[in-house]
Structure 1
């Protein structure tokens, strides 16, 4: 694999590699096809209907923004429309590779066209616009029509950089490198990559959370779950033909050694003290990662060009002893927010941020005393927060896409006494229950779960259980809606020979989650008790927006005992929240941004008239300056992110296919400003702390009812 990658990187301009499937891939596809059509939760037939879905999914996976293929290509591909099922049945991967090879040619053509277009002048006084989102647009009829689309794309790329203050020569150099790298990244793809794309197009044509994991993908999945790996502790990226050190992981071997820095470029890698140095210039990043990773206590040598040294050198060789690297940025963390009450007193609210439900399965199986677990870490953080005197708790699950089902169950057990947490229905109709059998609670006080549209799977199980038990309230946005259970199937176990190569794994949906109240989290997600104002149409994100997603359904409720009824507390807390939304400056800004976003984002296009773009920039800058002037008088400082809500849309970036993501995009700078949604969550929990006094709750509920009745609100 490595030698092939290097050879491709050095191909002369204009040469194209026609990739072909291997016998091992044919064998793997045969096993995967049988498992996908016989063991999936959803009854699946390998027929013409599925064949159509596979073809459409594969084309969309390669060219989601319709920027490379033309209508004649799509027409030509229709010969496979009712043949993908037969091809898979006979382990014939040729159609997938034929389509990819056309795609590779088209990317090369677009890169050449874009680079040539840079040599021509741009006229920014012409009143025209660029449609940057072409996901629903018709395919370009021919290469001439696609040339016009790309003329506008290149023009927009240039204008963006010009508006950012870059000089003409710098813009040309940067864009030329970008388009060259676009071609290079596709040229670096190997047969295994194409096989991976096609098998995932097949899997997702059945159901969106079913997937094929290559051997490398399986390894990365395990790393993400146990939050550790054995290596040097550095995150790698791409800079032209070099692998670049993007970040050194705090506390890892490279950080402790101190010589390797962010910005350094790796030009060669050697194993042990005297192993041959292998040149890696032009290699794919994941191949370089494979060379650098290795067992604990072994030595890896990196030849690097420091950030402040030109490509001519001199280079430096750094030897680092590999060790276990903890990926702490994915681990649970905590903070305390102090909320000032009307009487001037401060209420301490603890916040626990949980990015993923993680568990070191191997460490647990070996009964290691320090194995990583989200439940263990959260329990420890609760103890620390209690010692600091917090009176309420927020569990922040925003952007938490899930993880271990076991962890969702045990984490829920920290907040309920005991009982069922989630019901699981298998494909044969059998319903089982995951239960918390551990009596007692780690936290018995006021509790809120903060979620957003990207909170999914295990996050939804936890949030739904807290809601159903009346143990706490859910606040934020409706969640993603992933209520299905996936199992990992090691394809090597189904091989008839003992010397078969690693074939990877299938992540296959085999069951569905149901709440203890009987409803599913699938498709609908978890609806918050207190809903924050957010941009966009909820139907356009999450499970409900995905092709082939399973529908919502329900089963009988489990036998469980709610901890309490929070209906009146939710009503009063929401009443206070809505009052803040209408009266406070920060929320007025947020609502204004949302209104502007909803009105303009649907356009999916941006003007290429420089005067109009500059006027729009000036308007937005004046808006930001006005806000900054007002922010100075806010007691808590600025709570609303003043980033333009339309900025991402107006960048006009291509929604790229495989390996075509822009690599010159700057990393987001760490934002130390207060988080409005998090601070408001703390204020809601502080209200809950106050409303824990039943007499006060009754009084405020009565006052709220009288006021809303008087205003004619139902």
Structure 2
């Protein structure tokens, strides 16, 4: 035997011994019995290592400091059942009864990294899911009578689990009846409707067949983390990448959004400014059937692939080449495919970045120009910032540029629109506040040990004029920090509804920093035994470490480690920010927002931070509110909004729909007639002619009543703040 062969044999023996030793140290998991009709998924070694480390992280570092015990196990059990089958549409009561023996054992399983019970439950659910879809497909070709009574319960979340398969069959038969009735009312041919519906359900079955153990693991980890608090989340590697790209508002790839269409990966949208946009060789609705790497790489057929697997092949480092085999939009699949070659590049998601518009509003016979800056979330390209890229992307940098253009356009006021802004980067919320105040504390954060005050240290102000901030029930986290600071400093007027109430701070932790070296070596050795090649890598401090060519990635945990507080010392947790000018709330606090989350942290307060208010608005606020209320009493749009809220709440409380065709048509005709009448009332107010049902003419422009009224409030604010009594430019020391 030559030296090379001897060395290879020795290496393989060492790896084998390492694997055996590592596996011997593992707790023996329960056996996951095969479940007919499911994909029979099982945990892999890496998932077991991850969950053990997650348990350790939670018990040591989570702000809540909750021990993993039988009590929490019961909460995890209920949350997992809800994640699997929230609508009670698939599992039988007998399934849930069989699961009950695991209610208080999940804590012990998770601590040991034993996921067998959770996979057993998932496989049972998937078998029931597939059973229901197959049953439904078999019902599609039947003929149904829609002249009688009956209803379809589309929301069964508060109803008991199915007592029997026969009860499940009855509900799913009604679902098929409703789906076909929907298509019939839309005006399609009966035979075509059945064909359409069958394709829809067969696609559901096909997608279910592609479910893998990573999908199941993600659902399990959501149940685990959200049982501790609603904002601690584990992201598998691909989801972690998506999360970080969303935060950075850029990624490296071809610049196209993809979707699935009957087993085919389809171009949903071309992103402006990306490689595909510049090359003009790809178009919306083109279908991708093959992907090759580089100019000479072999094509891989991707028909039937999961979309996330296709995305990983298409994305790649800037400057590299990818080739796509395309069936152009509108052509038959038997057509000769087109080959498209693209060089990957950095793609900036400008459509998801801060944007500005200028609105003109007339008040008291005078016109005012108001700049509206819409911020979808608080983003920052942290990697580019760390690398010293002078052109790194962030919310504050984008807004500063927009403010410069608005000043050149000589606007009279600025409104920051944070509606549906769910938050994001905490440093960006602080820096953005700094654009509007001279300097001082913006937010206080408290972890398990201490309270820190985060300040704006830049004395410069990008905009000194009148400022407004629009918020709604889904303005959360960083949005609440910004809105709360603007309110506390007397810097501007907050308009809208009570915000979400998320007052917790998450730290993004790369799990590869948490997994021990011994666990990593065990995983690498196990993978080498399965997948082959390993190589030696030089360590920075000398020596070598054996690494796989495909070194495993472990994902990311966003762990709640602190709470934030306003400069006044009040937490936004649960309560959120209450606007100075309030609009009716469409989404009730009982159903939407932090206060609706059973595992949410409580509200509390700490000491006030020392700060110097920008201005004293205590006398202006009630005047603005009075003028606002006066307009609301005479506003038809306000009445429409109140009607819409009543209609929404009515619909939100319903859980079934009629299966009588005449009755369903009548209900929908009434809804359409009401919407048409409202459109025509709005058109009349604008001096436009009315439209009729089915009229191809363009309807009235969508009306953003909340924004329109907020601009009127700002016009009042401009007039009031222009007087000597209410100046915005002379800071007041005490408020």
TM-score, reference length from structure 2: 0.86
For residues 426-465 of structure 1, the aligned pairs below 5 Å read: 426-428=447-449, 430-465=450-485
The whole-number CA distance in structure 2 between the counterparts of 1:290 and 1:550 is: 37
Alignment partner of 1:245 is 2:267: yes
**Partner of residue 369, structure 2:** 348
Q: Identify the match of residue 179 of structure 1 among 172, 180, 201.
A: 201
Q: Alignment partner of 1:154: what SS? A: helix
**Shift, 1:459, TM fit:** 0.5
Alignment partner of 1:496 is 2:517: yes
The whole-number CA distance in structure 2 between the counterparts of 1:368 and 1:57 is: 43
Deviates more, 1:565-574 or 1:68-77: 565-574
Alignment partner of 1:531 is 2:553: no
Answer whether contact 1:70 1:142 (CA < 8 A) is retained: yes
**Shift, 1:535, TM fit:** 2.4
Alignment partner of 1:580 is 2:631: yes
Alignment partner of 1:158 is 2:172: no
Q: Alignment partner of 1:160: what SS? A: helix
Answer whether contact 1:637 1:674 (CA < 8 A) is retained: no
Deviates more, 1:164-173 or 1:23-32: 164-173
The whole-number CA distance in structure 1 between the counterparts of 2:123 and 2:687 is: 57
The whole-number CA distance in structure 2 between the counterparts of 1:625 and 1:405 is: 44
Deviates more, 1:602-611 or 1:348-357: 602-611
Answer whether contact 1:337 1:679 (CA < 8 A) is retained: no
Q: Identify the match of residue 47 of structure 1 among 69, 72, 78.
A: 69
Q: Identify the match of residue 301 of structure 1 among 297, 308, 323.
A: 323
**Shift, 1:15, TM fit:** 6.0
Deviates more, 1:493-502 or 1:70-79: 493-502
**Shift, 1:322, TM fit:** 0.8
**Partner of residue 535, structure 2:** none
Q: Identify the match of residue 198 of structure 1 among 213, 220, 224.
A: 220
The whole-number CA distance in structure 2 between the counterparts of 1:167 and 1:223 is: 44
Q: Identify the match of residue 356 of structure 2 among 311, 319, 334.
A: 334
The whole-number CA distance in structure 1 between the counterparts of 2:511 and 2:670 is: 57
**Shift, 1:670, TM fit:** 13
Which protein has the larger Cα radius of gyration, Structure 1 or Structure 2?
A: 2
Answer whether contact 2:37 2:126 (CA < 8 A) is retained: no
**Partner of residue 416, structure 1:** 437
Answer whether contact 2:287 2:327 (CA < 8 A) is retained: yes
**Partner of residue 375, structure 1:** 396
Answer whether contact 1:104 1:187 (CA < 8 A) is retained: no
Deviates more, 1:519-528 or 1:166-175: 166-175
Measured at CA, do residues 526 and 116 of structure 1 come closer, stay the same or move farther in structure 2, by a change above 3 Å?
A: same
TM-score, reference length from structure 1: 0.89
**Partner of residue 145, structure 1:** 167
Measured at CA, do residues 280 and 417 of structure 1 come closer, stay the same or move farther in structure 2, by a change above 3 Å?
A: same
**Partner of residue 167, structure 1:** 189
Measured at CA, do residues 636 and 357 of structure 1 come closer, stay the same or move farther in structure 2, by a change above 3 Å?
A: farther
Answer whether contact 2:37 2:130 (CA < 8 A) is retained: no
Q: Structure 2: which 5+ runs fail to align?
A: 1-35, 525-551, 728-735
Q: Alignment partner of 1:632: what SS? A: helix
Alignment partner of 1:110 is 2:139: no
**Shift, 1:100, TM fit:** 0.8
**Shift, 1:580, TM fit:** 2.0
For residues 300-319 of structure 1, the aligned pairs below 5 Å read: 300-319=322-341
Answer whether contact 2:506 2:561 (CA < 8 A) is retained: yes
Measured at CA, do residues 596 and 218 of structure 1 come closer, stay the same or move farther in structure 2, by a change above 3 Å?
A: closer
Moved over 4 A (4+): 669-672, 695-698
Residues 67-112 of structure 1 show CA distances to partners (whole Å, capped at 9, x for unaligned) of 1111111111111111101111211110111011111111110111
**Partner of residue 365, structure 1:** 386
Q: Alignment partner of 1:533: what SS? A: coil
**Shift, 1:626, TM fit:** 2.0
**Partner of residue 211, structure 1:** 233
The whole-number CA distance in structure 1 between the counterparts of 2:153 and 2:340 is: 47
**Shift, 1:236, TM fit:** 0.5
The whole-number CA distance in structure 1 between the counterparts of 2:580 and 2:42 is: 54
For residues 453-602 of structure 1, the aligned pairs below 5 Å read: 453-494=473-514, 495-497=516-518, 499=521, 500=524, 501-602=552-653
Measured at CA, do residues 229 and 191 of structure 1 come closer, stay the same or move farther in structure 2, by a change above 3 Å?
A: same
**Shift, 1:473, TM fit:** 1.4
**Partner of residue 30, structure 1:** 52
**Partner of residue 109, structure 2:** 87
**Shift, 1:346, TM fit:** 1.1
**Partner of residue 270, structure 1:** 292
**Partner of residue 630, structure 1:** 681
- Relative contact order, CA 8 A, sep 6+: which one is greater? 1
The whole-number CA distance in structure 2 between the counterparts of 1:384 and 1:214 is: 41
Residues 429-455 of structure 1 show CA distances to partners (whole Å, capped at 9, x for unaligned) of x10011001103111111111111111
Residues 506-555 of structure 1 show CA distances to partners (whole Å, capped at 9, x for unaligned) of 11100001111111011111111111123242221011111201111111
Alignment RMSD = 2.0
Residues 261-281 of structure 1 show CA distances to partners (whole Å, capped at 9, x for unaligned) of 111111111111111100111
**Shift, 1:627, TM fit:** 2.2
Answer whether contact 1:522 1:550 (CA < 8 A) is retained: yes
The whole-number CA distance in structure 2 between the counterparts of 1:621 and 1:490 is: 51
Measured at CA, do residues 600 and 319 of structure 1 come closer, stay the same or move farther in structure 2, by a change above 3 Å?
A: closer
The whole-number CA distance in structure 2 between the counterparts of 1:598 and 1:193 is: 34
Residues 665-692 of structure 1 show CA distances to partners (whole Å, capped at 9, x for unaligned) of xxxx999634222222212111111111
Deviates more, 1:106-115 or 1:557-566: 557-566
For residues 52-63 of structure 1, the aligned pairs below 5 Å read: 52-63=74-85
